[in-house]
Amino acid sequence: METPERFPEEGDLVVCTVKSVRSFGAFVELEEYPGKEGFIHVAEIATGWVKRMSDYVREGARVVCKVMIVDSSKGHIDLSLKKVNAHQKREKIQEWKNEQKATKLIEIVAERLGITVDDFRSKYSPKLLEEFGGHYTAFEIAAEEGVLPKSFKGQWVEDFIAVAKENVTISTAKVDGILEITCPGGDGIEKIKAALALAETVGGETGKVKVQYVGAPKYRIVATEAEFKAAEDLIRAAANKAIEEIEKCGGSGTFERS
């Protein structure tokens, strides 16, 4: 039985490598969909008039695009570069890099189990993706906690955890603090949500920020980094980002380290 061709869905973000650039647009290869190519029309390259395509895309460059139209019958995929912001690009590239790492780890697990990578993905990936959202996230949690949820059973789980512990380096510094944030008006709650979401966008290659609800108006910010000082800097930057945003909306906020 033939495996059906995989296509991205409209609205997806995809990592692409630019194959060729023309005055009317750029042709790209979709890294996550082997054999699939897409097209970015010049109107979707950037906001405003594009005088020189080379100012925005070059052959061989890696870009993140939003999928606009998919015609699987013709194999056409229309993409947009201008509809992807800097944060989305950074997050998508990191996600893609992590899945690249995960693929190599899956190869090791499959070899230990005596099965193919395709067999592993067919048998175990659906549940891993449903539970963790990504293979690499599952490997990170397995490395950090030394276990997977009890619903995961079998020899493959032991091998999965062993490979994770052997190959995944976990950030060791974690700090937290309490952010008190308020905003008057009927749409105050929505503005608070937006400010907190903005705080979670702060971070680099290794840093992560999570905001947890404690009880209005208090929210816990947790920052994880490879080193303690970096984690301290990260949590302060995230808190300041949220406070600055809410103050623009007429609200107020304070932050205190735990």
Which of 63, 75, 74 is closest to 25 using CA atoms?
63
pLDDT, mean of residues 94-106: 92
Q: Check residues 103 and 225 and name the one with the higher pLDDT.
A: 103
Where are the domain boundaries for CATH 2.40.50.140 in the chain?
13-84
Which tens digits make up the pLDDT trace of 54-89?
899 999 999 999 999 999 888 899 999 999 998 788
pLDDT at 181: 93
Which tens digits make up the pLDDT trace of 112-164?
999 999 999 999 999 998 888 889 889 988 998 899 989 999 999 999 999 99
Spatial separation of the C-alpha atoms in residues 167 and 144, rounded to whole Å: 11
Secondary structure E strands in the chain:
13-22, 25-30, 37-41, 62-71, 76-80, 173-182, 208-215, 218-225, 252-257
Spatial separation of the C-alpha atoms in residues 182 and 186, rounded to whole Å: 12
Q: Name the CATH superfamily, with its identifier, for domain 173-257.
A: EIF_2_alpha (3.30.70.1130)
pLDDT at 3: 44
State the fold for domain 13-84.
Answer: OB fold (Dihydrolipoamide Acetyltransferase, E2P) (2.40.50)
Spatial separation of the C-alpha atoms in residues 52 and 2, rounded to whole Å: 44
- Whether the per-residue pLDDT at 2 is higher than 50: the answer is no
Where are the domain boundaries for CATH 1.10.150.190 in the chain?
87-167
| CATH number corresponding to 87-167 | 1.10.150.190
Where are the domain boundaries for CATH 3.30.70.1130 in the chain?
173-257
Average pLDDT, the chain: 90
Query: What's the residue count for the chain?
Result: 258
